[in-house]
C-alpha cells in the first residue's frame, strides 16, 4: 500500500524508468526476461476467504495479470491488489485467503507457489515482492537468493509488523485439546443478533462434510474422537471440521475455514455373527456423536455390490427411520440420521445385505 499520489509528476518520472509508479500489494517482477516475454500470473483461491470487512465471501476466487499488459510492451511487473486496500480494484484483487500463484506461458503452467493472507492483523502495509525467472521458469524470493516453487509463503512471515492473528476473521475455526478430545473454538458471525445457532460439520473417513451438531455457543467438544499426538499409530485418521451460522431468516452462511486433527481410528469391525473370511471386509461403525442431539453419523462399508437396508428401530422394535433401502456398489458410505422428531431414548440401527447383518445401539439425549 505504499502509494504515491504525485499524479502530476508521474508523466515525468516515467520518462526515467521502465516501470511506472504503481498501486498494488502483490508485486511479481520478471528477471532474465531477454528482449521479449509473455507470461500470465494467476492467483487461484484454495481455501475459504474473507473480504475487506473480514467477512466470509464467495468472491475473489481467482485473478490474473498478463505481462506485458496490452499497450505496454516494456511492462515486466505484475501487480495484484489485496482486498483490504482502500484503492483495491485498480489491479485484479485477491482476498484474505490462501492462493496458488501460478506462472503460465501459452496456457501451460510453468511454476507455482502458495501465498497465505489469512490474518486480521493488518496494521502496516502488507506489500509482498517476488521475482519470476523467465529464462529458468521458476519463482524466486525478493532477494533472488532462493527458488520458492511449491512452497508456502505467508504475509506474516514476509512482512514485519504483521502477525498470524485470526480473531478478526468471522467463523474462523481453531482446534485445541480438551482431555484428549478435539475442542472446536470459532469466531462469531459478524451480526450475532441474526444468528439462530451454529452448525458443526465433520469429515473423517467419508468424502463429504456432514453436519454432526448444532450449538448456540462459540465452542464445541467432539467427545466421539480421541486425539492422537506423537508418532503415527495404526488406524489413525484425520478428522476435519468446518463451522457455519444458521440465521434467523432460515439462511445458512458460508462455511468457515477447514481445521483438522489426528484422531484414533476404529479398526475393521467384525459382526457378532458367524461368517467366514469372505465377508470380513463388511462393517458398520458405531455412530458419532453418541449420545447425540439431534443428528448423528453412521459409517459402513460394503465388500461387494448388493442390496442394502439400513433402518433405525426404537426400544420396542418399531421402525422409526429407513435410511437406506437400495442397491449400492462396493465401498465406504456415510449417512446422517436426524432424530429431530423423536423423543430421547435408546435406539437400534441395523444394516442388512445379502451377506452381512449387524446391529448397534445409540442414544438420543435431549
Model confidence over 237-257: pLDDT tens digits? 999 999 999 999 999 999 999
Q: Do domains 173-263 and 277-364 have the same CATH topology?
A: yes
Confidence of residue 281 (pLDDT cuts 50, 70, 90): confident
Lowest mean pLDDT across 59-68, 162-171, 311-320, 331-340: 331-340
User: What's the CATH class of domain 277-364?
Assistant: mainly beta
Given this model, what pLDDT does residue 135 score? 97
Given this model, what pLDDT does residue 21 score? 53
Q: What is the pLDDT averaged over residues 286-315?
A: 90
Confidence of residue 328 (pLDDT cuts 50, 70, 90): confident
Given this model, what pLDDT does residue 185 score? 98
Q: Smallest Cα–Cα separation from 132: which of 20, 26, 24? A: 26
Indicate the SS3 state at residue 274.
coil
The Cα diameter of the chain in Å comes to 89
> DSSP string spanning 42-55?
EEEE-S-EE-TTS-
Given this model, what pLDDT does residue 196 score? 97
Indicate the SS3 state at residue 235.
coil
> What are the percentages of helix, strand and coil residues in the chain, rounded to 5?
5, 45, 50
The answer on pLDDT for 205 being more than 50 is yes
Given this model, what pLDDT does residue 275 score? 40
> DSSP string spanning 120-182?
S--SS---EEEEEETTTTEEEETTSSSB-TT-EEEHHHHSTT-----TTSTT-EEEEEETTEE
Q: For the chain, what are the domain ranges?
A: 10-158, 173-263, 277-364
The answer on pLDDT for 6 being more than 70 is no
Using one digit for the tens of pLDDT, what is the confidence trace for 29-85? 999 999 999 999 999 999 999 999 999 999 999 999 999 988 888 899 999 999 999
Q: Smallest Cα–Cα separation from 189: which of 255, 250, 120, 249? A: 255
Cα angle 127-128-129, degrees, rounded to a multiple of 5: 125
Given this model, what pLDDT does residue 33 score? 95
Dihedral Cα 104, 107, 108, 110, nearest 10 deg: -10
Lowest mean pLDDT across 83-87, 265-269, 282-286: 265-269
Q: What is the pLDDT averaged over residues 269-274?
A: 38
Dist. CA 337–CA 319, nearest whole Å: 13
Copy the grid coordinates of residue 208.
463429504
For 169, what's the count of Cα atoms within 13 Å in the CB-facing half-sphere?
Answer: 28
The answer on pLDDT for 279 being more than 70 is no
- Alpha helices, DSSP H only, in the chain? 10-13, 155-158
Copy the grid coordinates of residue 254.
458460508
Percent above pLDDT 90 for the chain: 70
Confidence of residue 143 (pLDDT cuts 50, 70, 90): very high
14 conformational bin, left if phi > 0, alpha if psi -120 to 50, beta if neither: alpha
Q: What is the average pLDDT value for the chain, to the nearest integer?
A: 88
- Contact between residue 121 and residue 164 where contact means Cβ atoms under 8 Å apart: yes
Given this model, what pLDDT does residue 69 score? 85
Confidence of residue 330 (pLDDT cuts 50, 70, 90): confident
The CATH homologous superfamily to which domain 173-263 belongs is Immunoglobulins (2.60.40.10)
Dist. CA 113–CA 138, nearest whole Å: 10
pTM over 0.75: no
Lowest mean pLDDT across 38-47, 128-137, 268-277: 268-277
Amino acid at each position: 500500500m505504499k502509494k504515491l499520489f504525485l499524479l502530476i509528476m508521474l508523466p515525468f518520472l516515467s520518462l526515467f524508468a521502465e516501470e511506472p509508479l504503481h498501486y498494488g500489494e502483490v508485486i511479481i517482477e520478471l528477471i532474465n526476461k531477454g528482449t521479449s516475454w509473455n507470461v500470465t500470473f494467476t492467483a487461484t483461491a484454495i481455501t475459504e476467504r474473507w473480504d475487506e470487512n473480514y467477512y466470509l465471501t464467495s468472491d475473489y476466487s481467482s485473478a490474473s495479470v498478463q505481462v506485458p499488459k496490452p499497450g505496454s510492451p516494456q511492462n515486466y511487473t505484475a501487480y495484484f491488489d489485496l482486498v483490504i486496500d482502500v484503492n483495491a480494484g485498480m489491479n485484479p484483487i485477491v482476498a484474505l485467503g490462501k492462493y496458488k500463484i501460478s506462472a503460465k506461458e501459452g496456457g501451460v503452467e510453468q511454476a507455482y507457489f502458495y501465498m497465505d493472507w489469512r490474518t486480521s492483523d493488518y496494521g502496516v502495509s502488507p506489500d509482498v515482492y517476488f521475482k519470476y525467472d523467465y529464462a529458468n521458469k521458476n519463482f524466486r524470493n525478493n532477494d533472488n537468493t532462493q527458488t520458492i516453487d511449491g512452497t508456502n509463503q505467508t504475509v506474516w512471515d514476509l512482512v514485519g509488523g504483521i502477525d498470524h492473528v485470526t480473531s478478526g476473521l468471522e467463523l474462523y475455526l481453531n482446534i485445541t485439546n480438551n482431555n484428549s478430545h478435539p475442542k472446536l473454538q470459532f469466531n462469531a458471525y459478524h451480526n450475532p443478533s441474526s444468528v439462530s445457532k451454529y452448525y458443526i460439520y465433520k469429515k473423517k473417513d467419508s468424502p463429504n462434510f456432514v453436519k454432526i451438531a448444532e450449538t448456540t455457543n462459540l465452542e464445541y467438544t467432539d467427545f466421539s474422537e480421541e486425539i492422537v499426538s506423537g508418532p503415527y499409530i495404526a488406524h489413525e485418521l484425520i478428522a476435519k471440521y468446518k463451522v457455519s451460522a444458521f440465521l434467523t431468516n432460515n439462511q445458512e452462511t458460508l462455511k468457515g475455514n477447514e481445521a483438522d486433527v489426528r484422531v484414533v481410528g476404529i479398526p475393521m469391525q467384525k459382526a457378532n455373527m458367524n461368517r467366514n473370511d469372505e465377508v470380513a471386509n463388511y462393517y458398520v461403525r458405531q455412530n458419532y456423536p453418541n449420545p447425540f442431539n439431534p443428528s448423528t453419523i453412521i459409517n459402513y462399508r460394503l465388500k461387494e455390490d448388493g442390496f442394502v437396508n439400513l433402518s433405525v428401530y426404537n426400544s420396542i422394535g418399531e421402525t422409526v427411520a429407513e435410511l437406506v433401502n437400495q442397491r449400492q456398489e462396493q465401498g465406504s458410505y456415510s449417512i446422517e440420521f436426524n432424530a429431530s422428531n423423536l423423543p430421547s431414548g435408546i435406539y437400534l440401527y441395523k444394516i442388512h445385505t445379502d451377506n452381512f447383518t449387524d446391529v448397534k445401539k445409540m442414544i438420543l439425549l435431549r
